[in-house]
Copies of this chain bind each other. A is one copy, B any other.
Amino acid sequence: MEAAVDLPDDALYNIAAVERDTGLSKDTLRVWERRYGFPTPVRDRHDERLYSTGQLEKLRLLRLLIDHGHRPGKIINQSNVELTQLIASRAPEQTPPPEIAALIALLTSHDTDGFRNALLQALMKQGLLRFVTETVAALNYWIGEAWLAGKIAVFDEHLYSEHVQNILRNAIIAQPGRGSAPRVLLTSLPGEKHRIGLLMVEAVLVAEGGACVALGTETPVIDIQNAAPAYQVDVVALSFSSAFTQNAALAGLTELRALLPDSIEVWGGGGALARARKAPAGALLLRSFDDMRYALERWRVEHAQR
Spell out A's residues near B (CB within 8 Å).
5-6, 8, 11, 17, 20-21, 23, 56, 110, 112-113, 153-155, 158-159, 161-162, 165-167, 169-170, 172-173, 178, 187, 189-191, 213-216, 219-227, 230-232, 255, 258-259, 261
Contact = CB atoms under 8 A, between A and B. Distances in A.
A24 to B, nearest CB: 12
Contacts of A17: 221, 255
B222 A21 contact: yes
B223 A153 contact: yes
A219 B154 contact: yes
Instruction: Report how many copies the assembly holds.
Output: 2
Given A187-B158, A230-B153, A222 B20 contact: no
Nearest to A198: B162
29 contacts: A6-B258, A8-B222, A11-B222, A11-B258, A20-B190, A20-B220, A21-B190, A21-B220, A21-B221, A21-B222, A56-B222, A110-B232, A112-B231, A113-B178, A154-B219, A154-B220, A154-B223, A155-B215, A155-B227, A155-B230, A158-B215, A158-B216, A159-B215, A162-B214, A165-B169, A166-B169, A166-B172, A169-B170, A170-B170
Question: What's the dominant secondary structure at chain A's contact region?
Answer: helix
A227 B224 CA distance: 37
Contact of A173 (B166, B178, B189): B166
A214 B110 CA distance: 12
Nearest to A229: B110
Given A5-B261, A261-B5, A226 B191 contact: no
A255 B17 CA distance: 10
A153 B20 contact: no
